[in-house]
């Protein structure tokens, strides 16, 4: 993914740009296009034929998000759902200068499903994809910042982008741009860091917090925005503190009346608890770190999705002892040996296996492609039984579907 979105190599991007400063990558320097990910024809297909529903679509014009009834309607007999897109209404709003935003395309459009899976693997952070379709000489949104990093990929047409330095660096999801309207209005009166026109094939990386505004020129502009929800040190700290819930001391009630105490008394209580936290972190560092790592892994698993399984293909493969299988890409899991068993810990459940399955499970977890009848450490019959269960549990998939 990075090789398509960045004019520099992955290591340079990680060291010099990630979370630090914008990067403009011109298709002139590194010829590319993004029409395989989305195209004008694909946009029409999504709007006209794919039954898109809110919140997978929204419209905006001149900084204002439009009411849903401007572009949604009933779907008719056999699909009595009132929040599907009305393509005729969308046409009318586009003609009037509205920007169409197709959201969550990594869940809807096959090329972007694969592309975002690659992005998550490359970046190690959750990612998603939206498309912005803006008619000529129009803009959808006022100058603002995002609370996630973005890669802007110009698909077709042209769009002018004006980028200014942050007024609030590294904003969290709880710190939206609307809290800093006055500072943003003042900052955008200064000289921009970037003022450029993106043409088809150009890409722009913006770390969260960088101010930006964009306007289509004399043709309809389509661009993709790959949003990346970066894990922060604060996220790690929160998982560590959450792990203190396993320590009885921190589950006890504070003295009666503490919420109504004067400021000095409240400060004394806060200072005392902070000292206890520091002591607990020091004395139980190994245990708390292990638990926090599990929580952080679960958090990541909750924000990402492994590749989808094809149920009928999986059931068919489960009956074939000669099928080649591999780990389901993107499935977060842990393997441990415990009391003569092998424990597979998934985000939503735990599965145990006989110790004899350990070698086969670890081989699959490493990403090896293995034939059901030739799993290491198991005879063909036992290997077929293990693969059958793993297929039905959506842990492995037929290798061709990886």
Q: What is the CATH number of the domain that holds 37?
A: 2.60.120.650
Asked if pLDDT for residue 316 goes beyond 90, the answer is yes
User: What is residue 344's predicted lDDT score, i.e. its pLDDT?
Assistant: 95
Same domain, 248 and 355: no
Judgement on whether residues 251 and 352 belong to the same structural domain of the protein: no
Give residue 19's pLDDT: 96
| Bond before 55 cis per omega within 30 degrees | yes
- Cβ atoms of residues 128 and 227 within 8 Å: yes
Q: How many CB atoms lie within 10 A of CB 248?
A: 7
- Residues ≥6 apart with Cβ < 8 Å to 219: 136, 156, 157, 158
Q: Which of 260, 281, 303 is the last residue of a domain?
A: 303
What's the mean per-residue pLDDT of the chain? 92
In 203-356 the beta strands, taken as DSSP E runs, fall at 203-206, 211-216, 221-228, 324-327, 334-338, 341-345, 350-354
**What gap in Å lies between CA 219 and CA 134, rounded to an integer?**
9
The CA-atom distances, in angstroms, between 301 and each of 58, 294, 349 are: 27, 10, 13
- Helix/strand/coil for 388: helix
Read off the pLDDT of each residue in 154-182 and give the average, rounded to a whole number: 96
Half-sphere exposure of 161 (CA within 13 A, CB side): 27
Q: For residue 206, how far is the Cα from the chain centroid? A: 16
pLDDT at 207 exceeding the cut of 90:
yes
What pLDDT band is residue 139 in, cutting at 50, 70 and 90? Answer: confident
Say what percent of the chain tops pLDDT 70: 98
Both 295 and 354 in a single domain? no
**What pLDDT is stored for residue 402 in this prediction?**
58
> What's the rounded mean pLDDT across residues 42-68?
92
Q: Check whether residue 82 and residue 170 sit in a common domain.
A: yes
- pLDDT at position 167 is 97
Mean pLDDT throughout 96-124?
95
Question: Are residues 70 and 203 located together in one domain of the fold?
Answer: yes
Give DSSP secondary structure letters for 93-138. HHHTTPEEEE--GGGT-HHHHHHHHHHHHHHSS-EEEEEEEE-TT-
CA dist 198 and 101 (Å) reads 18
- Residue 338, pLDDT above cutoff 90: no
Q: Report d(CA 106, CA 108) in Å as an integer.
A: 6
Question: 317 and 395 share a domain?
Answer: yes
Helix (H) / strand (E) element for 57: namely strand 57-61
Query: Residues 350-379: pLDDT tens digits?
Result: 999 999 999 999 999 999 999 988 999 999
Question: Rounded mean pLDDT of 386-400?
Answer: 94
pLDDT confidence of residue 266: 83
Q: What whole-number distance in Å separates Cα of residue 134 and Cα of residue 362?
A: 49
Query: Do 165 and 112 sit in the same domain of this protein?
Result: yes
**106 vs 115: CA distance, rounded Å:** 8
DSSP code of residue 56: S
Domain coverage including residue 337: 311-401
Instruction: Identify whether residues 171 and 249 lie together within a single domain.
Output: no
Q: Both 36 and 173 in a single domain?
A: yes
Q: How far out from the chain centre does Cα 343 lie? A: 28
- Domain CATH number, residue 330: 3.90.930.40
Rounded to 5°, the CA angle 57-62-64 comes to 55
pLDDT at 211: 98
Residue 262 is predicted with a pLDDT of: 78
- For the segment 237-259, what is each residue's pLDDT rounded down to a tens digit? 999 999 999 888 899 888 877 76
> Sorting pLDDT into bands at 50, 70 and 90, what band is 401?
low
Q: What are phi and psi of 82, to 5 degrees?
A: -85, 0
The domain total for the chain is: 3
pLDDT at 30 over 80: no
Same domain, 318 and 334: yes
Q: For 205-226, what is the mean pLDDT?
A: 96
Residue 331 has a pLDDT of 94
- The conformation of residue 223, written as its DSSP 8-state character, comes to E
- Summarize the chain as % helix, strand, coil (round to 5): 40, 20, 40
Among 195, 228, 261, which residue terminates a domain? Answer: 228
CB–CB of 168/180 below 8 Å?
A: yes
State how far the Cα of 289 lies from the Cα of 96, in Å rounded to an integer. Answer: 55
Domain boundary among 303, 327, 360: 303
Dist. CA 48–CA 98, nearest whole Å: 17
- Provide the pLDDT for residue 255: 82
98 and 156 within one domain: yes
pLDDT digits (tens, 9 = 90+) for 267-281: 888 898 999 999 999
CA contacts within 13 A on the Cβ side of 253: 5
With contact defined as beta carbons under 8 Å apart, do 155 and 129 qualify?
no
The reply to whether 326 and 282 lie within a common domain is no
């Amino acid at each position: 993914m990075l090789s398509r979105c960045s004019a520099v190599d992955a290591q340079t991007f990680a060291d010099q740009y990630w979370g630090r400063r914008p990067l403009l990558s011109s298709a002139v320097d590194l010829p590319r296009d993004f029409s395989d990910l989305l195209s004008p024809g694909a946009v029409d297909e999504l709007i006209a034929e794919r039954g898109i529903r809110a919140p997978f679509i929204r419209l905006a014009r001149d900084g204002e998000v439009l009411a849903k009834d401007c572009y949604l309607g009933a779907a008719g007999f056999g699909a009595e759902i009132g929040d599907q897109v009305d393509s005729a209404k969308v046409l009318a709003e586009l003609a009037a200068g509205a920007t169409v935003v197709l959201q969550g395309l990594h869940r809807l459009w096959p090329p972007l499903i694969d592309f975002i899976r690659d992005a998550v693997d490359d970046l190690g952070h959750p990612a998603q994809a939206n498309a912005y379709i803006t008619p000529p000489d129009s803009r959808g949104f006022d100058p603002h910042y995002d609370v996630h990093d973005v890669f802007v990929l110009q698909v077709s047409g042209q769009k002018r982008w004006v980028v200014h330095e942050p007024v609030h660096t590294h904003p969290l999801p709880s710190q939206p741009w609307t809290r800093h309207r006055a500072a943003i209005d003042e900052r955008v009166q200064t000289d921009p860091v970037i003022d450029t026109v993106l043409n088809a094939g150009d890409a722009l990386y913006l770390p969260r917090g960088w101010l930006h505004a964009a306007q289509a020129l004399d043709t309809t502009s389509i661009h993709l925005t790959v949003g990346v929800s970066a894990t922060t040190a604060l996220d790690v700290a929160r998982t560590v503190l959450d792990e203190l819930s396993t320590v009885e001391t921190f589950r006890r009630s504070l003295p009666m009346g503490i919420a109504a105490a004067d400021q000095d008394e409240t400060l004394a209580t806060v200072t005392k608890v902070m000292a206890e936290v520091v002591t607990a972190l020091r004395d139980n560092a190994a245990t708390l770190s292990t638990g926090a790592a599990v929580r952080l892994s679960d958090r990541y698993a909750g924000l990402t999705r492994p590749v989808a399984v094809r149920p009928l293909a999986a059931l068919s493969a489960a009956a074939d002892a000669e099928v080649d299988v591999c780990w389901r890409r993107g499935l977060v899991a842990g393997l441990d040996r415990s009391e003569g068993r092998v424990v597979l810990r998934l985000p939503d459940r735990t599965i145990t296996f006989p110790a004899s399955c350990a070698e086969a499970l670890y081989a699959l977890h490493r990403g090896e492609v293995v034939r059901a009848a030739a799993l290491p450490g198991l005879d063909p019959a036992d290997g077929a039984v293990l693969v059958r269960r793993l297929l039905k549990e959506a842990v492995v998939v037929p290798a061709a579907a990886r």
